[in-house]
Amino acid sequence: MISGRGRSFLSNLVKDINQLCQTSHLLTTAYHPQTYGLTERFSKTLADMLSMYVDVEQRNWNTILPFVTFAYNSAKQDTTGFSPFFLVHGRDIETPLDVILPYDTENHADNYVQQLINRAEEARQLAKLHILDAQEADKRRYDERHRPVNYSIGDLVWVFTPVQKVGLSEKLLRRYFGPYRITRRLSDVTYEVQSIEVNNRRQRKKDVVHVLRLKP
């Protein structure tokens, strides 16, 4: 399971549930949504769809949500080649029009359930291959333009931290804060840093940040 570092995810209850279910719990780094990109991408798609139909005061989004999720679940995905509904149920979603129109009773033979199971499993395996191909293509594009960056313990760096202040231009706001000192290398892409500013109230706190948020 991958989650953010909110208090709810770090609670003893979640730890006990993970231990009971034998689940490995991985925590993301702050301000790095790429860690759970699929969730972020779906949230953006859902928000874009809602924005097309929500009223000016944005108070009716909850009444629109069921129709938007229905549209999303019934739409064919470019990556998998199937709709989310088909991958779960092994058949296309039924709309009110499908119920009204006559249908062939032969499709409801004794082996109909088994056909659905086989069809769903075949679709999932094919979707898995499509996803792996798409991921490999994304990796090739990323590797072509990515330059590895390495820091050593003791290096001074600046940390990117997005901020918003009412009444101030977002373009002119300070983006990088510090300096911070590298205190530990956790992996090839994550570091533990600590502020060296004397008057910084966060001086004693150590933060885990992704390498993309750091600059010398």
Mean pLDDT, range 78-82, rounded to an integer:
87
Residue 191 inside a domain? The answer is yes
Looking at residue 119, what is its pLDDT?
81
Span 78-107, average pLDDT: 80
Share of the chain above pLDDT 90, in %: 19
At 199 the pLDDT is: 64
Best CA proximity match to 178, nearest among 196, 162, 190: 196
pLDDT at 201: 59
- Residue-number span of the structural domain to which 165 is assigned: 155-215
Give how many domains the chain has, as a whole number: 2
130 or 35: whose pLDDT is higher? 130
pLDDT at 159 over 70: yes
Q: Is residue 6 part of a domain?
A: no
CATH of the domain at 168: 2.30.30
162 and 140 in a common domain = no
Which pLDDT score is estimated for 180? Answer: 92
pLDDT of the residue at 78: 86
Q: Which of 121, 146, 171 is the last residue of a domain?
A: 146
Q: Which long-range contacts (CB under 8 A, 24 or more apart) does 171-179 make?
A: 176/215
- Summarize pLDDT for 26-64 with one digit per residue, the tens: 888 877 777 777 888 888 889 999 999 888 888 889 999
Query: How, if at all, do strands 176-185 and 190-195 pair?
Result: antiparallel
CA pair distance 124, 136, nearest whole angstrom: 18
Find out whether 159 and 114 touch, Cβ atoms under 8 Å. Answer: no
Full-model pTM: 0.62
pLDDT tens per residue, range 164-203: 777 777 777 788 888 899 999 998 889 999 988 766 555 5
Cα 201 to Cα 128: distance, rounded to the nearest angstrom: 48
Domain boundary among 100, 129, 146: 146
What's the pLDDT score for residue 17?
Answer: 92
Residue 155 has pLDDT above 60, yes or no: yes
Q: Are residues 159 and 117 in the same domain?
A: no
